[in-house]
Amino acid sequence: MLIRLPSGQEIDNIPGESILKALKRHGIYLVASCGGKGICGKCHIRVLEGTFQTTTSGKLDFRQTDSGSVLACQTYPEEDLSIDIPKESKLVVGDIIETARATDLLGLFQTLDGTLSPLVQWISLQIPQPTIQNNFSDLERLIKALEGQNIKDLIFSHSFVLSLADSLRQAGWQIMLGYTGNKEVFSLSPLPQKERFGIAIDIGTTTIVVYLVSLSDGRVVNVGSTYNSQIRHGDDVITRIVYATENAGLQELMDAVVNDVNTIVTQLAENHGISQDDIESAVIAGNTTMAHLFWGLNPAYIREEPYIPTLNEFPLWKAGAAALAMHSQAPVYTLPCIASYIGGDIVAGVLASKMHRHPEISLFLDIGTNGEIVVGNNEWLVTAACSAGPCFEGSGIKQGMRATEGAVETVKINRQTLDPSLGVIGQGKPLGICGSGMIDAISELFLSGVIDQKGRFIKESKTDRIREGFEGVEFLFYQDSQREIVLTEVDIENILRAKAAIYAGISLLLKKTGFSLNDIEHIYIAGGFGNYLNVERAITIGMLPDLPAEKFIFLGNTAIAGAYLCLLSENMRKEAEEISRKMTNIELSVSRQFMDEYLSALFLPHTDISQFPTVADLLKKK
Amino acid sequence: MLIRLPSGQEIDNIPGESILKALKRHGIYLVASCGGKGICGKCHIRVLEGTFQTTTSGKLDFRQTDSGSVLACQTYPEEDLSIDIPKESKLVVGDIIETARATDLLGLFQTLDGTLSPLVQWISLQIPQPTIQNNFSDLERLIKALEGQNIKDLIFSHSFVLSLADSLRQAGWQIMLGYTGNKEVFSLSPLPQKERFGIAIDIGTTTIVVYLVSLSDGRVVNVGSTYNSQIRHGDDVITRIVYATENAGLQELMDAVVNDVNTIVTQLAENHGISQDDIESAVIAGNTTMAHLFWGLNPAYIREEPYIPTLNEFPLWKAGAAALAMHSQAPVYTLPCIASYIGGDIVAGVLASKMHRHPEISLFLDIGTNGEIVVGNNEWLVTAACSAGPCFEGSGIKQGMRATEGAVETVKINRQTLDPSLGVIGQGKPLGICGSGMIDAISELFLSGVIDQKGRFIKESKTDRIREGFEGVEFLFYQDSQREIVLTEVDIENILRAKAAIYAGISLLLKKTGFSLNDIEHIYIAGGFGNYLNVERAITIGMLPDLPAEKFIFLGNTAIAGAYLCLLSENMRKEAEEISRKMTNIELSVSRQFMDEYLSALFLPHTDISQFPTVADLLKKK
Distance, CA of B246 to chain centre = 23
Tell me which chain B residues have a C-beta less than 8 angstroms from the C-beta of A310: 137-139, 161, 164-165
Tell me which chain B residues have a C-beta less than 8 angstroms from the C-beta of A284: none
**Contact predicate B84/B192, CB 8 Å:** no
**Region A480-493 average pLDDT:** 92
What's residue A486's pLDDT? 95
Give dist(CA A346, CA A154) in Å, integer: 33
Buried-state track B383-419, b at ≥16 Cβ within 10 A, e below 16: bbbbbbbbbbbbbbbbbbbbbbebbbbbbebeeeebe
Q: CA of B386 to nearest chain A CA: how many angstroms apart?
A: 17
- Other Cβ atoms closer than 10 A to B515: 15
Backbone angles phi, psi at A612, to 5 degrees: -130, 65
Give dist(CA A254, CA A257) in Å, integer: 6
Residues of B with CB under 8 A from a CB of A: 130-132, 135-140, 155-159, 161-162, 164-166, 169, 182, 295-298, 300-301, 305-313, 315, 317-318, 321, 339-340, 587, 590
Give dist(CA A609, CA A294) in Å, integer: 44
| Strand, coil or helix: B494 | helix
Torsion angle of C-alpha atoms B363, B367, B368, B370, degrees rounded to 10: 90
The answer to whether the Cβ–Cβ distance between B311 and A182 falls below 8 Å is no
pLDDT tens-digit series, residues B82-99 = 999 988 888 866 555 555
**Contact predicate B43/B20, CB 8 Å:** yes
What's residue A119's pLDDT? 98
More confident residue, A546 or B403: A546
Q: What is the DSSP letter of A232?
A: G
pLDDT tens-digit series, residues A489-502 = 999 999 999 999 99
DSSP class per residue in B510-534: HHHHT--GGGEEEEEEESTGGGG--
- Considering only CA atoms, which of B576, B132, B602, B54 is closest in space to residue B352? B576
pLDDT tens-digit series, residues A247-285 = 889 999 999 999 999 999 999 999 999 999 999 999 999
Reported confidence tier of residue A41, pLDDT bands at 50, 70, 90: confident
Show the low-confidence residues of chain B (pLDDT under 50): 100
Closest residue in A to B308 (Cα) is: A137
**Cα three-residue angle A365-A371-A374, rounded to 5 degrees:** 40
A contact test, residue of B295, B311, B317, B328 with most A CBs within 10 A = B311
Give dist(CA B360, CA B196) in Å, integer: 39
Across chain A, mean pLDDT equals 92
Tell me which chain A residues have a C-beta less than 8 angstroms from the C-beta of B330: none
Buried-state track B322-338, b at ≥16 Cβ within 10 A, e below 16: bebbbbebbbbbbbbbb
What's residue A68's pLDDT? 82
Q: What is the DSSP letter of A284?
A: E
- Considering only CA atoms, which of B373, B351, B377, B462 is closest in space to residue B414? B462
The answer to whether the Cβ–Cβ distance between A587 and B306 falls below 8 Å is no
A contact test, residue of B156, B161, B169 with most A CBs within 10 A = B161
Residues of A with CB under 8 A from a CB of B: 130-132, 135-140, 155-159, 161-162, 164-166, 169, 182, 295-298, 300-301, 305-313, 315, 317-318, 321, 339-340, 587, 590
Closest residue in A to B140 (Cα) is: A311
**Contact predicate A306/A356, CB 8 Å:** no
- Give the CB-side neighbour count of residue B190, counting CA atoms within 13 A: 10
More confident residue, A434 or B24: A434
ipTM here? 0.89
**Contact predicate A227/A390, CB 8 Å:** no
What is the bridge-based pairing of β-strands A552-556 and A520-526? parallel
- Strand segments (E) across B5-164: 10-12, 44-49, 52-54, 69-71, 75-77, 81-84, 120-126
Query: Which range, A367-376, A425-434, A551-560, A565-574, has the best average confidence (pLDDT)?
Result: A565-574
pLDDT tens-digit series, residues A550-578 = 999 999 899 999 999 999 999 999 999 99
Distance, CA of B520 to chain centre = 26
Q: CA of B596 to nearest chain A CA: how many angstroms apart?
A: 21
Using a 10 angstrom Cβ sphere, with 0-12 exposed, 13-18 middle and 19 or more buried, the burial of residue A159 is: middle
What's residue A358's pLDDT? 97
Whole-number Cα distances in Å, B384 to A121, A459, B366: 41, 103, 11
Give dist(CA B210, CA B266) in Å, integer: 11
pLDDT at A393 > cutoff 90? no
Q: CA of A349 to nearest chain B CA: how many angstroms apart?
A: 22
What's residue B27's pLDDT? 80
| Strand, coil or helix: A457 | strand
pLDDT at A588 > cutoff 80? yes
Q: What is the DSSP letter of B582?
A: H
The answer to whether the Cβ–Cβ distance between A165 and B132 falls below 8 Å is no
| Strand, coil or helix: A558 | helix
Backbone angles phi, psi at A520, to 5 degrees: -80, 125
In DSSP terms, B578 is beta-bridged to none
**Contact predicate A1/A21, CB 8 Å:** no
B contact test, residue of A127, A133, A135, A295 with most B CBs within 10 A = A135
Closest residue in B to A293 (Cα) is: B162
Give dist(CA B495, CA B445) in Å, integer: 13
Whole-number Cα distances in Å, B554 to B345, B351, B435, B550: 16, 15, 16, 11
**Region A242-248 average pLDDT:** 91
pLDDT tens-digit series, residues A139-152 = 999 999 999 999 99
**Contact predicate B392/B497, CB 8 Å:** no
Closest residue in B to A297 (Cα) is: B162
What's residue A97's pLDDT? 55
What's residue B483's pLDDT? 86
**Contact predicate A231/A390, CB 8 Å:** no
Size of interface A-B (CB pairs under 8 A): 124
Residues of chain A with pLDDT > 90, as a percent, come to 77
